A and B are shown apart, each in its own frame.
Chain A
Amino acid sequence: MFQGVNASDGIGIGVAQVAVEPDLSYTPNAHGDPDAEAERYNQALNKFVERTRAQAKRMAESVGEEEAQIMVGHINMAQDPFMIDEIQSRIGQGMAAEQAVDEVCDMFYNMFAGMDDPLMRERAADVQDIRTGLMANLLGKEVIDLSVLPPNSIVVVAELTPSMTADIDKDNVVGIVTETGGRTSHSAIIARALEIPAVLSVPNCTTIARTGDTCVVDGTAGQVFVNPSEDELADFRKKAAELAEEKKALEAYRGKETLTGDGEKVLLVANIGNPDDANGALEHDAEGVGLFRSEFLFMDAKELPSEEDQFAAYQKVALRMKGKPVIIRTLDVGGDKEIPYMKLKKEENPFMGYRAVRYCLDNPEEYKVQLRALLRASAFGDIKIMVPLVTCIEEIRDVKKLVEECKEELKAEGVKFNPDIEVGTMVETPAASLIADDLAEECDFFSIGTNDLIGYTMCADRGNDAIAYLYQVYQPAVLRSIKRVITEGNKKGIMVGMCGEAAADPLFIPLLVSFGLGEFSVSAPSVLRTRKIISQWTKAEADALAEKVMKLKTAGEVRECLEANAK
């Protein structure tokens, strides 16, 4: 078994097709007849454009118009008069076409790779793709063609380039394995869009697997099995069949409202980590975003992201979600999330230290950059601001004061924003839970973050196996805390949501229905299943179960009772 990054869910069983990049080396400093070289270059360019146009057409059908535009962009870039001039002038001076293409692509690659704008840096990868295409044509080599694979293929490749993904035929490819790329890479996004199980960053996979080997790709666990035993294979076949069946049954809930058994409407939204995840949220039919963790913007950067960078990211999500609610959590730095350039001091006890809203309020000028970006993006969709780790009233009041300051500034600058933007609290500490009644008067909404609420309430680290019995949402102390937050929020008429894993826990959902939770924010692939489970419980049934459960004294009893009554 080989472990990689779980980039796209599901199990794929098939035959490995190992694609190796063609050798594109050429003889440097070769001279040629300029006219003949220019003609070779023209032909190589024409062939590239033809092939890319066909890819764009296929991609528009299989993935979507937006992705097809990447290929159209390749055509525009390859046919760029500036690029052509640069190449032709080198050829005119006697340089061989290969070297001219290579040098000019290098020039553009370096230019884009060195730019500040992350969108522009992505163009460097496009230049690489264009280089590979042109060079292969000049050298008479075939670029890997993934459009002609036999059925049940598992594509094994060092790196999946945009042009390769454009070739992938969804009907024939059942799995993808690569040597590079993470969950947010282009390959991962495409694999998820195509719903092909994918495991990325498996070192040396192109030498481990050989074309013809039987492979299993478990995209959920991030594992790849090469030539598994008959028993293992039978297990995976069973698991894959079960998954397929479940998925098919859940399709009945697509496009429907989320209603409890007696028709009470609740909001079912998704947790996302970066703007591209918004697509996944929509594909899985989420009704909005309940938690957009803004940390990715800070963790992927080398310095504090500018207001423009942040605005671009928030706006992207707002536009993609087309008016659906999007709750964005402001920077949750510290604890386990270290951001090197912020130079936070090492602390004895980082989870109880200088982090999240505490850091932000101590650095108001930095925080205002984020608040301004959020306000500006609120002109493009229903953006709400969520403040993490609030433990006392002053914190939320201070944040609101900063928000008001930012609004005044933007107004003076004539910049558009939503003046009624909602500001809410992520309830994840026992302190916030205990003052939920007062806190609710200061907030437009609550969102219960169960992961930290369990940890802080039980004084138990989630990663510590020795105390795993404490780290459970079924602990009576946690149950009471959650019930209290929902009840107090509802009393004050504000929306109460939950963005921790418990919101998608089939056993836990009836309790949340009983307590009166208004918004469930879950991982995108859990949306349809959560909608189904919510629909199975009427308020009366859920109340009867909750009444029983709230009398129980131990987490074990709670769990048993919930399991016994699960539908």
Chain B
Amino acid sequence: MVSETVTIINPTGLHMRPAGLFASTMGKFKSTITIENVENGKPINGKSPMAIMAGGLSCGTEIKITCEGEDEAEALKTAVDLVKSGLGE
């Protein structure tokens, strides 16, 4: 299991399009992907755009991404890079 904390930088937060991009990218990995809002610690399924959107993660929120499975290292790197890049915005 590996994890890393990143800050959401895209201006509108994780709404439909960024959440969709994140979930569909992470869906290609075998590992389970979990996002946690560092402030309130509720775990969110990182492959579910609905769950991500429902998490209400806005710009500036710190999130901890955890990956667990055979391709966890690669999955985590992809996830962190994606969030840091502003999720296509």
A72 with B20: CB separation less than 8 A: yes
Secondary structure at the A interface, as helix, strand, loop or mixed, is helix
Q: Which residues of B contact A119 (CB under 8 A)?
A: 12, 15-16
- Asked whether A187 is an interface residue with its Cβ less than 8 Å from the other chain, the reply is no
- Asked whether B41 is an interface residue with its Cβ less than 8 Å from the other chain, the reply is no
| A77 touching B56 in the complex, CB below 8 Å, given contacts A69-B17, A312-B11 | no
A interface bracket (residues with beta carbon within 8 Å of B) = 20 to 34
For the complex, give the distance between the alpha carbons of A108 and B50 in Å. 8
For the complex, give the distance between the alpha carbons of A82 and B12 in Å. 23
B50 with A77: CB separation less than 8 A: yes
Q: Which residues of A contact B48 (CB under 8 A)?
A: 80-83
Q: Separation in Å of the A377 CB from the closest CB of chain B?
A: 9
- Asked whether B85 is an interface residue with its Cβ less than 8 Å from the other chain, the reply is no
- Asked whether A64 is an interface residue with its Cβ less than 8 Å from the other chain, the reply is no
In the complex formed, the residue of B with least CB distance to A376 is B11
Q: Separation in Å of the B89 CB from the closest CB of chain A?
A: 9
B11 with A123: CB separation less than 8 A: no
For the complex, give the distance between the alpha carbons of A442 and B30 in Å. 62
- Asked whether A465 is an interface residue with its Cβ less than 8 Å from the other chain, the reply is no
A116 with B51: CB separation less than 8 A: no
In the complex formed, the residue of B with least CB distance to A312 is B12
Q: Which residues of B contact A117 (CB under 8 A)?
A: 13, 15, 56, 58
- Asked whether A446 is an interface residue with its Cβ less than 8 Å from the other chain, the reply is no
For the complex, give the distance between the alpha carbons of A120 and B48 in Å. 15
B-facing residues in A302-332 (Cβ within 8 Å) = 308, 311-312, 315
B-facing residues in A283-303 (Cβ within 8 Å) = none
Q: Separation in Å of the A45 CB from the closest CB of chain B?
A: 14
B56 with A115: CB separation less than 8 A: yes
A-facing residues in B8-24 (Cβ within 8 Å) = 11-13, 15-17, 20, 23-24
For the complex, give the distance between the alpha carbons of A69 and B17 in Å. 8
- Asked whether A340 is an interface residue with its Cβ less than 8 Å from the other chain, the reply is no
Q: Choose one: A116, A311, A380; the contact of B56 (CB below 8 Å).
A: A116
Interface size on B, residues (CB 8 A): 21
- Asked whether A184 is an interface residue with its Cβ less than 8 Å from the other chain, the reply is no
- Asked whether A263 is an interface residue with its Cβ less than 8 Å from the other chain, the reply is no
Q: Which residues of A contact B12 (CB under 8 A)?
A: 119, 312
A81 with B15: CB separation less than 8 A: no
Q: Separation in Å of the A316 CB from the closest CB of chain B?
A: 8
- Asked whether A544 is an interface residue with its Cβ less than 8 Å from the other chain, the reply is no
In the complex formed, the residue of A with least CB distance to B19 is A76
| A120 touching B49 in the complex, CB below 8 Å, given contacts A76-B23, A112-B54 | no
A82 with B45: CB separation less than 8 A: yes
Q: Which residues of A contact B45 (CB under 8 A)?
A: 81-82
Q: Separation in Å of the B42 CB from the closest CB of chain A?
A: 13
- Asked whether A335 is an interface residue with its Cβ less than 8 Å from the other chain, the reply is no
B-facing residues in A66-89 (Cβ within 8 Å) = 69, 72-73, 76-77, 80-83
Q: Which residues of B contact A116 (CB under 8 A)?
A: 56
For the complex, give the distance between the alpha carbons of A119 and B54 in Å. 12
A73 with B16: CB separation less than 8 A: yes
- Asked whether A36 is an interface residue with its Cβ less than 8 Å from the other chain, the reply is no
A82 with B50: CB separation less than 8 A: yes
Task: Return 17 A-B CB contacts under 8 Å, by A number.
Answer: A72-B20, A76-B20, A76-B23, A76-B24, A76-B49, A77-B49, A80-B23, A82-B51, A83-B50, A115-B54, A117-B13, A119-B12, A119-B16, A120-B15, A123-B53, A308-B59, A315-B11
Besides A80-B50, A115-B56, 19 new A-B residue pairs in contact (Cβ under 8 A), listed by A number? A69-B17, A73-B17, A73-B49, A76-B20, A76-B23, A77-B16, A77-B50, A81-B47, A82-B50, A83-B50, A108-B50, A108-B54, A112-B53, A115-B54, A123-B16, A123-B53, A311-B11, A312-B11, A312-B12
Binding site for B on A (CB under 8 A): 69, 72-73, 76-77, 80-83, 108, 111-112, 115-117, 119-120, 123, 126, 308, 311-312, 315, 380
